[in-house]
Amino acid sequence: MPSPSNTIQHKGTHHAPARSWAWLGVVPFLLFALLFLLLPTANIIVGAFRNAGGEWTLANIYQLFQPSILASYTISLKISIASALLGGVIGFAIAVAVVQGDLPRWIRAPLMTFSGVASNFAGVPLAFAFLATLGRLGLVTLLLRDWFGINLYATGFNILSFWGLTLTYLFFQIPLMILIITPALDGLKREWREAAAMLGATTTQYWLKVVFPILLPSLLGTFALLFANAFGAVATAYALTGSSLSIVPIVLFAQIRGDVLQDPHLGYALAFGMVMITLVANSIYLWMRARSERWLK
C-alpha cells in the first residue's frame, strides 16, 4: 500500500500538454491577410485623413461630397444594385431549375464547374470577350444585323454604357449566385414539401409560405455579397469603358496613377468610402448567412 507521502507527491505531479503545431498551417494565410489586406487597408484609412504635408485633416473627406464625386458614387451604386438584382434573380432561377426541377442530374456537375470558373473570370479578358461579342463590330451585333435586320446600336444600346457594363458584370454575378444559393436549396428538407402537400398547400403556396421565408436571409445576404462584388470591380470596367463611364474605381484609379488632377490623398478618401460601403455589404452578408444556417441545420 503506497504511503500518504507518495500519494500526495503523485497527485501534485502535472504533465505539460503536448505542444500542437497545427496552427502553423494557417500562418501563410495570416501573413497574406496582413500584408495584402490589413496593412493596405490601414494605410488607406490613415491616408484619407492626412494631407500632402502629413498633417491630419478632414478636407479629403469633405471633397467626397463634390458633385462629380457624388455622381461617380451614384452610378457605381446603380450598376452594383442592378447587376446584383439581375444576377441574383437569374442565378436563383437557374439554381432552382437544377436542384428542384426535373432536369437531368448530369447537368449539375458541368454547371457548377462552369460557375466556379466564370465567377472568377473578369478584367481585360472579360472586357475583350464582350467587345468581340456585343461591340459595334461584334459577332452577335453583326449576326443580328445581317440575319435578322436588327441594328442593335440603332435601338440605343451601347456596350460602353450603364447597361453595357451591367450586362458584362452579369457574366460573373450569375455564376456567383448559383454557387452560393445552391447549398441553401440543397438544405431544404423533403419533409417540408410533403407536410405542405398533406395540408393541402399548392406549389405556389409552398414556395411563398415555406421556401422563401426560409431562404430570405440567404437571398438578402447573397444580394449584399453580389453588390459588394460589383462595387469593387475595376479591371473589367476600366478595360471595357476606359474613362467614358466615371464609376468610383475608375475615378480612384485616375487619382492614384497620375491623372492631370492627381491627388493621392483624395484617392485614399475615395478608397476609404469604397471600403466602408463594401464593409457594410459584407457584414450584412455574414449576418444573414448566420441566420440562414440556423434555419437549415
pLDDT digits (tens, 9 = 90+) for 63-97: 999 998 999 999 999 999 999 999 999 999 999 99
Residue range 198-252, pLDDT digits in tens: 888 888 899 888 888 888 888 988 999 999 999 988 888 888 887 778 888 888 8
| Arithmetic mean of pLDDT, 154-170 | 90
Query: Over the Cα atoms of the chain, what is R_g?
Result: 26
Phi-psi region of 135 (alpha: psi -120 to 50; beta: other; left: phi over 0): beta
Length of the chain: 297
Where in the chain are the domains? Answer: 66-296
Q: Which residue has the cell 444576377?
A: 87
Residue 93's pLDDT is: 94
CATH number of 66-296: 1.10.3720.10
Amino acid present at 239: A
Q: How far apart are CA 183 and CA 161, in angstroms?
A: 35
CB atoms within 10 A of CB 143: 13
DSSP-derived secondary structure for 78-118: HHHHHHHHHHHHHHHHHHHHHHTS---GGGHHHHHHHHHHH
Q: CA nearest 188: which of 46, 79, 26, 297?
A: 297
Q: How far is CA 289 from the centre of its chain?
A: 14
Whole-prediction pTM: 0.83
